[in-house]
Structure 1
Amino acid sequence: MLEFTPSYKKICILRLSAIGDVTHVIPVVRAMQKQWPGVEITWVCGKFEYKLLNIIEGINFIIFDKKKGIKAYRELWNALKSDHFDVLLHMQVAARANIASLGIKADIKLGWDKSRSRDFHQLFINHSVARENQQHQVQGFLSFARELGLQLDEPSWEIPVTEKARKFAEQYIDKDKKVLIISACSSHKLRNWSVSKYAELADYAVEHYSMQVILSGGPADIEVEMANEILASMRTSALNLVGKDTLEQLVGLLSKATVVVSPDSGPAHIANAMCVPVIGLYACTWSKRSGPYNSLEYCVDKFETAAKQYLNKSVNDLRWGTKIEKPGVMELIEVDEVCRQLDRVIKHSSDKTSVIKE
């Protein structure tokens, strides 16, 4: 741990992407805001990620638009040329972030330990977090806060639902039904479950629990096409909101869900941050590392099976963070396994409702 000093007044966070990862960083921000009142926080983030993060108060955001190429670095360095930070939290090991850090002046440049580094990350920092074996990503990010002397064990997100987001959600949510939101697509096609299995799950939710099923996702062609195919394959009906909300509105929508079903994706982590149960579908990645933090018990995880079947290895022989993105891996997840987890979530939510009424 760094020698704690109360003089940490200016902190810069460098985490450009992706949605799930920037969501993991928010508890670090909350810890600093609570324990260091008045701390000045600057966050260098991606253009798309800013659409989510801008609802977090008390942060000066600097947008890095990677599509601009070299110009993006020049704009970033020019924006920060008069700033000198006590600490740079260099939370991304990718080459793009490492190069960006060159124009950020800070006394302490705290980054990842060597075992979790790549792209020469260690050359761009002067301190690193402690090495941990098989640590969940949420706890990995919290280790940055602990290294600075902040006291915290578990994450707290406190993501606000704006009035605009609340009104958007209320347009579509049936208040008289339990709500299943299916966010069917990850950012990587091979991490997606099949159309037929999503459709079967949705029908199960409607036929067994009279749930309102909502399909959610971004405007990308793959997400629009998958949503249309799921609807066409269902016996029952669902509300298709794919491509119809912003990230800000998505927060409001997810906050109203009874349960969310998703592969390893940004919306899964946003829902988790909103304290909504998430049934994570994991086979290409391991939920122990990147599953929805508060819903690991609900994940259907076939990563260990995939390691044996596709790599002929035990998970303990794989580098932490290994991805098994091969055709057919996600088909290891069976519909009945996900339905059983849905049963558990519904039972738990009913039990909680009964306790509240009593």
Structure 2
Amino acid sequence: MKPAPQSLCLLRLSALGDASHALALVRTLQQHRPGLPITWIIGKGEARLLEGLEGVEFVVYDKKSGLAGLRALRAQLAGRRFDVLLNLQLALRAGLLSTLVSADRRIGYDRARSKEGHSLFINERIAPGGHHVLDAFLQFLAPLGIAGPPAPWRFPVPQDAHDWAAAQLPGDQPTLLVSPCSSHALRNWRPERYAAVADHAAARGWRVVLCGGRSRIERETTDRILAAMRAPALDLVGKDTLKQLLALLARASLVLTPDAGPTHLADAMGSSVLGLHACTDAERSGPYRDRRWCTNHYAQAAQRFLHKPVNEVRWGRRIEFPGVMDLIEVDEVIGLFEAYAAAADRRGRLPGWQPA
């Protein structure tokens, strides 16, 4: 067994969902190695999401900053050396950035998962295994002598964000929070299908809330959902900050979303997720804690669009083809909604909801 590290650098720039998985790694590392100095090279938006995380130094890199950003990163890391670098990102950009980090041990992915020259930038590999992304991330702790389940990994959220969320969602009415868009357009479900599920929830006495960012596709998708709905819904798209989004997700009874960042943010904040998966595998990229309420048509998509069985598809392959999300029918999603509601009724509460 190699000696315990006295300093550690983690490289994971993006995206929001993977920031959640990396947060679970950090919380687990802190649980087993309290006081270990941790430096995290991270993307700009992800740093805002994790602001307030104790015991971690963030070195922010904006991938849009070009050569100026590279020079700034080099200057921040100049003269520093770490015992361990955990390179959690397979992209070539991340590999090139990792050359700016001086570290004795440079731990990366196993050979089967390596791509984009990842093997050139590491000198140790994790063992194969861990189908879910978060389990794969936790594999990076094994070379440090750490094993076991992840520690709780809620995001730090300031009280003013919780107060704002409580003002938007007052009382104890069960709430379906719909976050309809992924950054990958082909992962998105049809607006009229979201509307049908939202109307069903409203007819059952649920409050329906739409959330999302400020992009054009999110605004247009939301407008189409609202136009197709018969029931009213609260439109918060483009009106929250990242910390306020975390607080909203924490108050939701159930979050309806495709494979996107809010899946994992909601999961981290303790809320249940009705995930829509067809072009990605729910068992790999669905909510880690509980995937009972998720669709998963990944195997069907592999047969239809790749013409091969799912066990022949490379880990992490996205089956992003026009029409792939149409494999998910409205009746299936309503059935999952009803199953969740029934389970919540049996427990006498709605998991994920937090009173003001």
Determine if the TM-score, normalized by the shorter chain, exceeds 0.5.
Answer: yes
Which of 4, 9, 20 is equivalent to 2:6? Answer: 9
Question: Who is 2:99 aligned against?
Answer: 102
Task: Give the letter for the 2:244 counterpart.
Answer: Q
Aligned residue runs from structure 1 range 22-171, under 5 A: 22-132=19-129, 135-171=131-167
1:82: Cα distance to partner? 2.1
Count the aligned residue pairs: 351
- Any conservation in 1 of the 2:246–2:266 contact (CA below 8 Å)? yes
What RMSD over aligned residues (CA atoms) do the two structures have, in Å? 1.5
Q: Give the distance between the partners of 1:272 and 1:312, measured in 2 at CA.
A: 33
Aligned positions of 1:254-265 closer than 5 A: 254-265=249-260
Q: Who is 1:172 aligned against?
A: 168
Does residue 216 in structure 1 map to residue 218 in structure 2? Answer: no
**Residue type of the alignment partner of 1:103:** L
Q: In the alignment, which residue of structure 1 is the partner of 2:354?
A: none
Residues 51 and 156 in structure 2, CA contact (< 8 A), matched pair in contact too: no
Structure 1 residue runs of 4 or more that deviate by more than 6 Å after TM superposition: none
Q: Shift of residue 355 of structure 1?
A: 11
Shift of 1:158: 2.9
Instruction: Give the C-alpha shift of residue 155 in structure 1.
Output: 4.6
Matched residue type, 1:188:
H
Aligned partner of residue 61 in structure 1, secondary structure: strand
Q: Is the 8 A contact 1:284 1:330 kept in 2?
A: yes
Instruction: Check whether the contact 2:155–2:269 (CA below 8 A) recurs between aligned residues.
Output: yes
The aligned amino acid for 1:47 is: K
The answer on 1:277 being equivalent to 2:272 is yes
Is the CA contact 1:174–1:212 (under 8 Å) kept in the aligned structure 2? Answer: no
Contiguous gaps of at least 5 residues in structure 1: none
Q: What CA distance in whole angstroms lies between the structure 2 residues aligned with 1:282 and 1:75?
A: 39
1:124-168: per-residue Cα shift (whole Å, max 9, x none)? 001010012x61111000111122111322452132331121011
CA contact (8 A) 1:16 1:46 kept: yes
Query: What SS is found at the alignment partner of 1:294?
Result: coil
- CA gap of 1:350–1:226, structure 2 versus 1, over 3 A, is same
2:193 to 190, 197, 202: 197
Q: 1:318 aligns with which of 310, 313, 317?
A: 313
Task: Say whether the 8 Å CA contact 2:196–2:229 is kept in structure 1.
Answer: yes
CA distance in 2, matches of 1:155, 1:184: 29
**Partner SS for 1:187:** coil
One-letter identity of the residue aligned with 2:70: Y
Distance 1:319 1:354 in 2: 40
Looking at structure 2, the residues matched to 243 and 62 of structure 1 have their Cα atoms a distance apart, in angstroms, of 27
Q: What amino acid maps onto 1:201 in structure 2? A: V
Question: Contact conserved, 1:11 with 1:40, CA < 8 A, in 2?
Answer: yes
1:247 is matched with 242
Residues 204 and 355 of structure 1: CA distance in aligned 2, closer, same or farther (over 3 Å): closer
- Aligned to 1:202, the other structure's residue is in SS state helix
Letter in 1 for 2:235: N
Aligned 8 A contact 2:275 2:293 in 1: yes
Instruction: State the Cα deviation string for residues 78-131 of structure 1 (Å, max 9, x = none).
Output: 101121111011110101100100010111111111111111101100101001
Q: Do the aligned residues in 2 keep the contact of 1:282 with 1:301 (CA within 8 Å)?
A: yes
Q: Flag structure 2 segments of 5+ consecutive residues without an equivalent.
A: 352-356
Q: Partners of 2:279 and 2:53 in 1: how far apart?
A: 31
Contact 1:9 1:38 in 2 (8 A): no
TM-score normalised by structure 1 residue count: 0.95
Give me the TM-score of the superposition, normalised by structure 2: 0.96
Q: How big is each residue's C-alpha offset from its partner over 1:147-194, in whole Å with a ceiling of 9 and x where there is no partner? A: 211132245213233112101101111323101100100110000000
Tell me the amino acid that sits aligned with residue 307 of structure 2.
N
1:314, distance to aligned residue in structure 2 (A): 0.7
- The 8 Å contact of residues 196 and 230 in structure 1, kept in 2 or not, is answered as yes
In 2, are the aligned partners of 1:142 and 1:155 still within 8 Å (CA)?
no
1:306 aligns with 2:301: yes
Give the stretch that moved more between structures: 188-197 or 305-314.
305-314
Label 1:235 to 1:323 Cα distance change in 2 as closer, same or farther (>3 A). Answer: same
Of the three residues 335, 353, 357, the one matched with 2:330 is 335
Distance 1:284 1:259, change over 3 A: same
Question: Could you tell me how far 1:353 is from its partner in structure 2?
Answer: 2.3
Give 1:215 deviation, angstroms: 0.3
Q: What is the match of residue 223 of structure 2?
A: 228
